[in-house]
Structure formats: C-alpha cells, structure tokens
Chain A
C-alpha cells in the first residue's frame, strides 16, 4: 500500500470513530430518559472494566482506561446539558434528519428504523419530539404516517416544507466514469429515473437514502454510487458527483413536528381528522361550515380506514388559531356533524 492509500484509510477510520462516538453519546442521552439521575458510578465502573478486560492487540490497559474515562465523562456532561431529543425515521443524513435540523436547531437528532418507532418513542417520553413526512409534492400522502397520526394521541406542534434535492454520491477516490449501479430508496430512484437512464446507471433499491450513502462509504463497492441528500455527503465523507439529479424541477416534502403535549404558543394553522357519516352530503356539510366561516383550507386528504374497509378518515388543515372564537365555534359544529373529530394541533405555518 502506498502512503497516500494508508492515509486515506486512516482518515476513513477516524471519521468512522467519530461517528461511533456520536452514536454512543446518543445512546447515553436516550438512557438518561430511563434513569432517575445522570450519574451512575456503578455502571461507569462496569463500562470501563469491560473495555479493559476486552481483547485488543495493541492498546494497553492504561490507555483504554484513560480513553474511556474521558468518553464516560463527556457522555455525563452531555446528559447534564439535557438537549432535546428529536426522532426521525431513517439513518443520519435522511431527509427527515434534514427537516429535523431545520425545525428544531441545536438538538440531538435520533434515527429510528420505522415511523412507528418515532410515534411510540415520543408517546413514551423516550424522545421529546418527532419529525415525520406527511406528504410529498410528487408522490402524495405518506400513508403510514397519516395512519399513525390517526391512531396515536400525539399533537402536531410545527411543520416544515423541505425541498428534496437528490445528489449522486460516491467515495472521492473511485473513478466516477466507472459507476454502473446506484443504491437508494425506491422513491428517490424513481424521482431520478431520467438521470439514471441518460447515464446508463442501473438502479438498486435500498431501505433508505442515507442508509445507502452510509453503505457506499463503509463498504466501498466497486462501480457503485448512492442517491441521497447533500447532508449525507457531509456525514459520510462522500463526494457529490452531481447535485439536483431529480427529473422534476420542484419536489418537496412536508414534515410535521409531533409531541406529546400541544404547542403552548399561539399558532396560525390547525390540523384535524374526522370521519363523516355514510350519508348523502355529509362531507359537503362539514366543508360548508368552513366555507361559511370563511376559513381557508390548505389540505384535504382522505385515507382508507384500515380496520373498516369502505370508510375513510379525512385530513383537514386550515388557516387560523384554535384560540379564535370563529374557529372554536366552527369546530364545535363540525363535531356534531361527524362521528369522530380529532384535533391534531395548532402551530405556526411554515
């Protein structure tokens, strides 16, 4: 191996070490939500003993002890700082991560495998907030998330519209001209179909956009690239070969910020769900109430109720505050005209 190659490998390992430490700190912060107090001397001793007794070729016990003592100290310091934990679905660098950083700056962003993990975690108090995509401008409603909004008791406390710009990412040492396959989430691959066919690159579905970037960075498969956010390029040390490779000019996803408690500050936008009785004009009657009160609706969506085929839940977003008398009155009237009205929250519009 040449010196340059060795150094590149060292740089990669260092970046991975930092990522691993990051994940460790993240777990410490999550553990804090389940502990009575931050400091736990018994546990700290176990952690350091495990490391000292564990096998290693080159590291001496003294070095390991000093290293891990400082890791434990840092973890404790972070826990005492008590930053907000914001959960999103996907790996670090996913568009949910991008949205979280915009919605709740200076927090700790926690990746979750499934949308349901985000909802459950927030409901159980393991996370302070959750960020979930509710609809995409090209693909429509994210049904899983809309279902979870119906089924759980979380409140909507904010929203953001995130422009989705896909980037083609690859390790910088690889020759971009050799790229033949690209890994990403099927939706991202579909949104870049034109680019891929022009460049004769074969799409390979992967569970997550950022997960694909992480895999490309870690495994460095030959002739392969990933489609993910520019944040992923930064997090995984990949080169952006081309930005904005999506076929459509405008592609954005609306994310909702969810919490256990409703937003304390006055908002200017509300979200509700309801089920209208199965009779002629029932939906029209509800919409008429909003029309007559001159309340502007910003979204109407209907999603099938999974447990009740043939019936639908309606999602309604409208402008205004739930503190406003006109809106209070309208919602009261809507309640009498529907079978189950749920107020999801009042928040500042994006």
Chain B
C-alpha cells in the first residue's frame, strides 16, 4: 500500500470540517438535493425553492453530464452554470456541480461552491490535479469499481496539489446484483472514518438507482455515521432528461428530510458506536 501522507488519519487527529459556502460538512449533517441535470431556469428555480423549503443545505445539479451514450443529453454547459448561479442568488443555497473536463475547472469554480468529481472520473488524474489547484472544496465520488485504497489515493492527489478541502462520497459499487443499479457500500462509511480524517457523505440515489430504496438507504447512511447525503430531487421525475427512475418528488423528499433529522438526532443521543 502506498503511503497516504495527507489523507490518512493519525491517532488522535480531529476529523476535518470542510466549509462549503457557510455549510460546515463534518460538523453538522448536510443534505444536498436537486436535479440530476440542469434542464432550464424554471425547472431549476422550482426545484431549488422546493428543496430549500424542505430543509436542504445545498443545491446539486449537473451542467456537464458524463453520459454512458454519446447521444444522450450532455448538459447545458456554461448556460447551466449560469442557471445554478441564479438559483444560488435567490435561495442562498451553495451549489455543487460536476466538472468533467480539466479545461472547464476554473470556469466551474467561478460559479460553483463545491466541485464534484464523478465516479467515472475518480481516477482522471489530470482532472484531480486541476481541481487540486483551485480554491474550491471538492466532492470526490468513489469510482464504481474502486477499492477504498484507490479512492483515498485519489483524494491524496487533490490534497497534494494544495487543496485540503475534500469530501468523499460513497455512491455505490458494481456487484453481480441486477435488481439495483449499484450496491451502496455502507460499510465504507465507518471504514473511511477509521482510515481518514476527511468527511464522507453518501449518494443513496445512484447507490441504488431505485426510487423506493432511496429513503431506507438514506436513513441507513445516517445510522452508519455519514456526514451528509446527496439526493436527486426532480419536480417531474418522469420528464427528467436523465436518471428519470430514481429522483424523488419534492413532497417525498420533504417527508424524508424529517425522518433523516430524527435518525440523526437519535444517533447523536446514543453516542459513538463501538464494537
């Protein structure tokens, strides 16, 4: 195993708190919600208002989409970034959006509060170096075929470039199971807490790919000790231009938020879980 000089947790080290536009990830529970893709100003504004109302801390939305097929909707690009920024101005919610091309990094950093590296780009080392040189925190998703060690080495790339603000995101890995799109590896959450000082959130939406499983896995994530969640919410999931089968509607998300808070409160009451 190669040495993780900056990413490993040394004995007695306090967990890192990453400040994203005023939201302190690692200190208190942070829920990021929003559509998979930015489709229009109206759509984004409607969803942004709804998730803010439901109590979300941050808005997600893709402007640059890494799609399996080159013929699928590729995102609105710069126009999408402007729309996200407008939503931020109105709701005050910090913005997280994915960056897929090193040439876009500085532009995305101008508009977004948190730069997301997607699962397919986890080991895109030139992209990691580029985001490592910005002044924006980075949300590093786990590669769908990656071990924890490979994942942490990618965080090490970003940290070694001088950017200390990395948040890890468990988003499900490929297994032989076909019922779910991915298998959300919740054992990764406490394992990561043992291995590194960096905060970790989970993505139950992509982690399962099945709408009905998003709620239970959100609560299970909180119970496993995750610092936050990233959940897809769409005001009209059937019409969504991408990932139509897994987004929650705003009312369902609002209900889930209450249950998430309640589980979090319970976990805080029972204290640290040791075995």
Interface residues in chain A, defined as those with a beta carbon under 8 Å from any beta carbon in chain B: 176-177, 195, 198-200, 241-242, 245
B108 CB → nearest A CB, Å: 11
Measured CA separation A141–B106 after assembly (Å)? 35
How far, in Å, is B102 (CB) from chain A's closest CB? 10
* Alpha-carbon gap, A122 to B107, bound state (A): 45
B104 at the interface (CB under 8 A from A): yes
Q: List the B side residues contacting A177 at CB < 8 Å.
A: 101, 103-104, 107
B107 to A198, Cβ gap below 8 A? no
Residue of A nearest to B104 (CB): A177
* CB 8 Å contact bits of B102-133 with A (1 = contact, 0 = none): 01101101110000000000000000000000
Point out the residues of chain B lying under 8 angstroms from A176, CB to CB.
78, 107
User: Judging by beta carbons under 8 Å apart, are A195 and B103 in contact?
Assistant: no
- Asked if B109 contacts A198 (CB within 8 A), the reply is yes
In the complex, which residues of chain B have a beta carbon less than 8 angstroms from the beta carbon of A241?
Answer: 78, 107
Asked whether B110 lies within 8 Å of A198 as measured between CB atoms, the reply is yes
In the complex, residue of chain B having the shortest beta-carbon distance to the beta carbon of A201 = B106
B109 contacts which chain A residues (CB < 8 A)?
198
Q: Which residues of B contact A199 (CB under 8 A)?
A: 106-107, 110
Bound state CA distance, A198 and B105, in angstroms?
11
Chain B CB count within 10 A is highest, among A177, A195, A241, A245, for A177
Report Cα–Cα, A15/B267, bound state, in Å.
Answer: 64
Known: A176-B78, A241-B78. A200 touches B107 (CB 8 A): no
Kindly report which residue of chain B lies nearest to residue A176, judged by CB atoms. B78
A-B contacts, 13 of them at CB < 8 A, read A176-B78, A177-B101, A177-B103, A177-B107, A195-B110, A198-B109, A198-B110, A198-B134, A198-B135, A241-B78, A241-B107, A242-B110, A242-B111
Contact A198 B78 (CB under 8 A): no
Q: Which 4 A-B pairs have the closest CB atoms?
A: A177-B103, A199-B106, A242-B110, A176-B78
> Given A198-B106, A200-B106, A241-B78, 5 other A-B contacts at CB below 8 A?
A176-B107, A177-B101, A198-B109, A198-B110, A199-B107
Closest chain B residue, CB of each to CB of A178: B103
**Which residues of B (142-160) have their CB < 8 Å from a CB of A?**
none
Binary CB contact string for chain B from 165 to 198 against chain A (1 if under 8 A, 0 otherwise): 0000000000000000000000000000000000
> A residues within 8 A CB of B111?
242
Closest B-chain residue to A245, C-beta based?
A: B110
Q: Which residue of B lies closest to A199 (CB)?
A: B106
Give the CA-CA distance A177 to B102 in the complex, in Å: 10
Q: Report Cα–Cα, A200/B107, bound state, in Å.
A: 11
Q: Closest A-chain residue to B81, C-beta based?
A: A242
**What residues of chain A lie closer than 8 Å to B110, measured between beta carbons?**
195, 198-199, 242, 245
CA distance A231 to B232 in the complex (A): 37
CA distance A200 to B104 in the complex (A): 12
Interface residues of B in 208-228 (CB under 8 A from A): none
Report chain A residues within 8 Å CB of B78.
Answer: 176, 241
Minimum distance in angstroms from B213 CB to a CB of chain A: 38
In the complex, what distance in Å separates the CA atom of A177 from the CA atom of B100?
Answer: 13
Report B-chain residues with C-beta under 8 Å of the C-beta of A200.
106
Residue of B nearest to A200 (CB): B106
Chain A residue with minimal CB distance to B86? A243
Among B101, B106, B109, B134: residue with most chain A CB under 10 A? B106
Minimum CB–CB distance for A225 against chain B, Å? 12
A242 to B79, CA, bound (A): 10
Which A residues touch B101, using CB under 8 A?
177
CB neighbours (8 Å) of A195 from chain B are: 110
Q: How far is the CB of A182 from chain B (nearest CB, A)?
A: 13
B103 (CB) vs chain A CBs: closest residue: A177
CB distance from A39 to the nearest CB of B (A): 50
What residues of chain B lie closer than 8 Å to A198, measured between beta carbons?
Answer: 106, 109-110, 134-135
Minimum CB–CB distance from A203 to chain B (whole Å) comes to 16
